[in-house]
Amino acid sequence: MNAANQEDNSRLHRVQEMLDSGTMHKVSGLLNALQPGEIAHLLESLPLAEREIMWGLVKEKDGEVLVHLADDVLDDLVSKMDAADIAAAAENLDPDDLADLIQELPATVTNEVLASLDAQSRHRLETVLSYPEDTAGGLMNVDTVTIRPEVTLDTVLRYMRQLGDRVPASTDALIVVNRDDSYLGMLPLARLVTGERSDTVAEVMSVDFVPIPVSKPDTEVAARFERHDLVSAPVIDDDGRLLGRITIDDVVDVIREEGEHQFMGQAGLSEDEDMFAPVFTSARRRAIWLGVNLVTAILASWVIGQFQATIEKRVALAVLMPIVANMGGIAGIQTMTLAIRGIALKQLSLKNLRWLLRKEFAVGFLNSLLWAAMVGIIATIWFNDTSIGWLIAAAMTINLLFAAVSGALIPMILDKFNIDPALAGGVFLTTVTDIVGFLAFLGLATVFLI
């Protein structure tokens, strides 16, 4: 366990001990020393009753904490707050954070929050809300520092000193625009402080940086930040006018959410699933996924039922056939994980899919030679029957090859039909490898042994 995890576990343990002992002043003192994200992590780690007690102790940072919470936990806490309290919590949030929060609030509360804002803040919020949440426009913050190209660095330095602590966080460069707010370039702070004060911005600014279109998907924005090690980036509209900027903290949230989505989606769960949600809420959500799996399990069982007479004659087949299906499932998941990752990172397309299929087929073939031989030898010794060994080796080879191809094709097909492969891919793949494994093993047994 790394140091960060140990610290989180230690902090959670201390909070629970304080709550159990009723020493609320100690909990308050601990919360005052934590960042909003750390408080949110603690809240998500507590059962509902303890979470509600602790939330009552969060005061000055409550708005920032709400922004960091998973949707399910956020909904639970907001449902127990008065509209006026929510409006007060949201009062000092940045427009991009407020836009994320306000979309999770009931309409009545949303109206009260909007009414509590001044005209400038409301305009900034409405600008962010006018774009889909999963685009650059939904990620951006409209609070930017812009400068003109004709001014000198000395003028810019004096301007920055006047701004003082009003300079937005994560400002690593100033955005250069003309009088129409059209984007022209970037002035990195390093160039600002090292350049000659008499130089104009136009002489030292960087014009190589390509701004981000407002409609660009957030996953592509995250990929660009990752590839270019960006701290911030300007966002422009279709006419090249500056709308705002995206900062690394917003991109980290996108990357984290995407990772959680891929991981949780394999079990049919939302990335915002509350670990301590009420029993009936969790049961209702999971029931649908269990029902889908039941249908696929019945389909696989039906295939087995078609070979009931074969299994009755050779009991060894019933013992060995799960091995064939399971090996195919694991091999297919390995390939499918690579394919889903490639789709998410925009690295896999129809143009290079054929190369991936050839590569995974070759990998599947090599692994099938090794493990089919191994299982064939084990089965032969186990049942003292060479024909059983050859049979399971052949069936496993067929299923491993089929699994490799299916693992690459299924995510692409699902993505083509706008079905999330991270959510549905596992069910389809397991069904395919089970059916092919059973068909190959029991079908070959029917032909050659019975």
Residues 346 and 253 in one domain: no
Q: State whether 247 and 283 are in the same domain.
A: no
- How far apart are the C-alpha atoms of 121 and 256, rounded to whole Å? 28
In a domain, 332, yes or no: yes
401 and 303 co-located in one domain = yes
> Residue 381: inside a domain, yes or no?
yes
Closest CA to 244 of 146, 143, 163, 167: 143
Query: In this structure, are 161 and 240 located in the same domain?
Result: yes
Domain boundary among 267, 289, 322: 267
Please give the chain's pLDDT, 450 residues, in tens.
455 566 666 777 788 888 778 788 888 888 888 888 888 888 888 888 888 888 888 876 788 888 888 888 888 888 888 877 887 887 778 777 888 788 777 777 777 777 777 777 787 788 888 898 889 998 998 888 999 999 999 999 999 999 988 888 889 999 999 999 999 999 999 999 999 999 999 999 999 999 999 999 998 999 899 888 999 999 999 999 999 999 998 898 888 777 766 666 665 666 556 667 777 777 776 777 778 778 888 888 898 889 888 888 788 898 899 999 999 999 999 999 889 888 877 788 888 889 999 999 999 999 999 999 999 999 999 999 899 999 999 999 999 999 999 999 999 999 888 888 877 788 889 899 999 999 999 999 998 876
Q: List the domain range (segments joined by +) for residue 117.
A: 3-129
In angstroms, rounded to a whole number, what is the distance separating the alpha carbons of residues 138 and 200? 33
The CATH number of whichever domain residue 207 belongs to comes to 3.10.580.10
- Please state the φ and ψ torsions of residue 24, each to the nearest 5 degrees: -70, -30
Domain stop point among 129, 154, 172: 129
Same domain, 199 and 108: no
Distance separating alpha carbons of residues 115 and 214, to the nearest angstrom? 27
Do 287 and 427 sit in the same domain of this protein? Answer: yes
- Burial class (CB within 10 angstroms; exposed 0-12, middle 13-18, buried 19+) of 15: buried
Residues 288 and 428 in one domain: yes
Give this prediction's pTM: 0.67
Q: Do residues 112 and 180 share a domain?
A: no
Domain boundary among 267, 295, 324: 267
Residues 171 and 57 in one domain: no
Please provide residue 396's backbone torsions phi and psi, each rounded to the nearest 5 degrees: -65, -40
The answer to whether residue 135 is domain-embedded is no
Residue 66 CB partners (closer than 8 Å, separation 6+): 74, 77, 78, 89, 90, 101
319 and 261 within one domain: no
| Domain total in the chain | 3
Can you give the length of the chain in residues? Answer: 450
